[in-house]
A and B are shown apart, each in its own frame.
Chain A
Amino acid sequence: MSSRDSIFKAIRQGLGRGPLDDAARSQLDARIANPPQHIRATVDDADLITRFAQRFESRSGTTERIASLADVPAAVAALAESYAIAPSAVVGTALGELSWPDGWQIDHGAATIDVMLGVSLAWRGIAETGSILMLSGPDCPITHNFVPETHVVVLPVEHIVRHYEDCWVALRERGQGAPRAMNFISGPSRTGDVEQTIELGAHGPRRMHVLILG
């Protein structure tokens, strides 16, 4: 008997029944197709943008408002200058064609070990916790989120939702299942593994800056 078969047999033996009948199975499938909604954290803020920013900043992230997508390069350049980061970045093509200042080197490929700066478009921002949700894809490579020391994320205000669950509704509407990687990111990488004292920049980005667009 295969390991799979013996495990399923043991599960059913433990539960004191055979395989579920068709009626029971379709009931469970219906629970997946129409997921029951559970209790959520109260987010009664009228202004979700402010809530998002406050929560994100509470975990050492930084935010900035910009008016249009065209402002992204200047905002990134200013940040790079203030932290003495060389004018070079990996940028997801989801951000479209941006006009970068002279001297900037822009790469749309996967982030390699020496890349110091990544710029990405957030798929959603969650006001409840001040987290962003990234979906991996050719236009939003996952290495951009984790390899660079500094990660700048562009979050259009219309992408900000109240709860995690709002993301699931949007994901199901998108209709392609889950991408290879989905990441809720709630601030810079951190560790408390040395004497339970928080240090930033354990393995992922040391710095996270969200450009709230709109």
Chain B
Amino acid sequence: MEFRSPEFKTRAVHALHDANLQKALSNTKAGFVVKRAQAAAEMPEFEALRDTAAEIKNHVLANLDHYLEKYEAAVTAAGGHVHYATDAEDARRIILGICKKANAKRITKGKSMVSEEMGLNEALIADGYEVVETDLGEYIIQLADEPPSHIIAPAIHKTKDQVADLFAAAHNKPRKTDRAELVAEAREVLREKYFTAEVGITGGNFLVAETGSSVIVTNEGNGDLTQTLAKVHIVTSGIERVIPTLDDLSVFLRILARSATGQETESYTTFSTGPRREGDIDGPEEYHVVLLDNGRSKMLGSRFQDMLRCIRCGACMNHCPVYGSIGGHAYGWVYPGPMGSVLTPLIKGMDGTYDLPNACTLNGRCKSVCPVRIPLPDLLREIRHNQFRQDMTPKRQKQALKLWRYVAERPKLYHFAERIGVRILASMANGKGKLRSLPFDPGWTGARDLPAPTGRTFLELWQAKRGDK
């Protein structure tokens, strides 16, 4: 996947002026945010479950090598194969090898953010395979030739009319405008793909060490058809996704859907364990799991270890005012929003990712809804610290802060400057009480007025009231 995080600022400005995107984003609040709040409120155990989930993840991370070994042994015992990939290139090489051996021509894919991290689609297509995304959202953006803009709702930035245009162009059928008709048309087109693909690739939300199962959680059932009807099933997941037992899994099943979509449960929670068994009349003949490191092992033991608890529910971005204003594409890589602003600099490096952790107001809503209690604002602040230590902070910003510090450390000078400031602003407002535009920052007043001071500072008013003067 193309890395466009360095263009964050221009892409963010573009997003703010994209009427279709703004219309699509306005649906998010009423959708995910309200529904999550309801789901959490209806479940008295929800907060305790979040604590338990974080504890389980911490326990796994402290013993990750052991649980990976256990998981691998269980997959192997069930007749499957576990492959380890240090980075995206390694993962692509492994998967291309499996597809070649399977004599594949057509490959169906369920939603997998890890496969986006691998840049898998581009590599498969370059090698001559037909790749079909089967999650409706992923299918829509594949037709539009765009990357996902949300980790659980990849086409959240598309309006119904845009989907109608894409389908009409791709399917050679009359343009539909009814939502149900659009869904039915995709169903019909994709059905044939499931039945004719040689390889099916899905993600893995959880990997259960006890049974050697990979688990996906979906609403559409596309992942199930993808992995059931192809001869070869390949699971792509991260090394940190292993959990010890089915009982541990139950905790996550109770918080994942509620945090993601506000549902008590999604329609399908699917466990895959090895290939079809003796006597089975359906299911894949081969089962492979490709576990990606790609910088994850480096986070262990670092200040960013907590990030490895992430279960990719998307709640942080749903509740982020910055994400809500600019959508996911502005972030320029696989993972947008708060979790992405932590992960992208850690995986892709500090170069070109400067703006991501700074595009944050530190309001803390992401932390307050994270089901595994990742302290996202703290981690974002930590990355800012690292940027400062590495001397990446822009010169003007540093100079401005230095100047502010010089003044702030000298109370008399500070109050003097303040008195001048409020008087200038008051005279600019000309008694109207507000400023329609600021000379040095017209952007701030682009969509709102700045309340203007009346001409005296708070300290002056206070002292006058107390009669000190």
Binding site for B on A (CB under 8 A): 2-4, 6-8, 10-16, 19-20, 24-25, 28-29, 31-32, 35-42, 55, 58-59, 109-113, 129, 131, 136-138, 141-143, 145-147, 163-165, 168, 171, 177-197, 199, 201-205
Which single member of A12, A42, A182, A196 contacts B65 (CB below 8 Å)? A12
Which single member of A20, A111, A184 contacts B63 (CB below 8 Å)? A20
List the A residue with the shortest CB-CB distance to B264.
A129
Let me know if A194 and B136 touch, CB within 8 A.
yes
**Do A39 and B267 contact each other (CB < 8 Å), given the known contacts A3-B90, A193-B136, A202-B136?**
no
- Of residues 8 through 40 on chain B, the ones whose CB sits less than 8 Å from some CB of chain A are 24, 27-28, 31-32
Binding site for A on B (CB under 8 A): 24, 27-28, 31-32, 43-45, 48-49, 52, 56, 62-68, 70, 74, 77-78, 83-86, 90, 134-137, 140, 153-156, 158-160, 163, 179-180, 182-184, 186-187, 190-192, 194-195, 209-213, 219-222, 224-225, 228-229, 239, 244-248, 250-251, 253-254, 261, 264-277, 279-283, 291, 293, 297-302, 305
A25, A109, A146 pick with most chain B CB within 10 angstroms: A146
| Additional pairs, 15, CB under 8 Å, beyond known A171-B246, A182-B270, A204-B220 | A3-B90, A11-B68, A20-B65, A24-B66, A38-B248, A39-B52, A109-B281, A178-B211, A184-B253, A186-B266, A189-B268, A194-B136, A196-B28, A202-B222, A203-B190
B31 to chain A, nearest CB (A): 4
A-B contact count (CB 8 A): 274
Contacts of B179 in A (CB 8 A): 194-195, 197, 199
Which single member of A14, A16, A42, A202 contacts B221 (CB below 8 Å)? A202
Contacts of A29 in B (CB 8 A): 70
Let me know if B183 and A183 touch, CB within 8 A.
no
List the A residue with the shortest CB-CB distance to B271.
A182
How many Å lie between the Cα of A164 and that of B215 in the bound state?
A: 15
How many Å lie between the Cα of A190 and that of B137 in the bound state?
A: 12
Contacts of A15 in B (CB 8 A): 62, 64-65, 300-301
Contacts of A10 in B (CB 8 A): 293, 297-298, 300
How many Å lie between the Cα of A179 and that of B136 in the bound state?
A: 28
B460 to chain A, nearest CB (A): 51
13 contacts between A and B (CB under 8 A): A3-B84, A13-B297, A14-B305, A129-B264, A141-B280, A164-B250, A183-B271, A184-B270, A188-B267, A189-B220, A196-B31, A196-B156, A203-B187
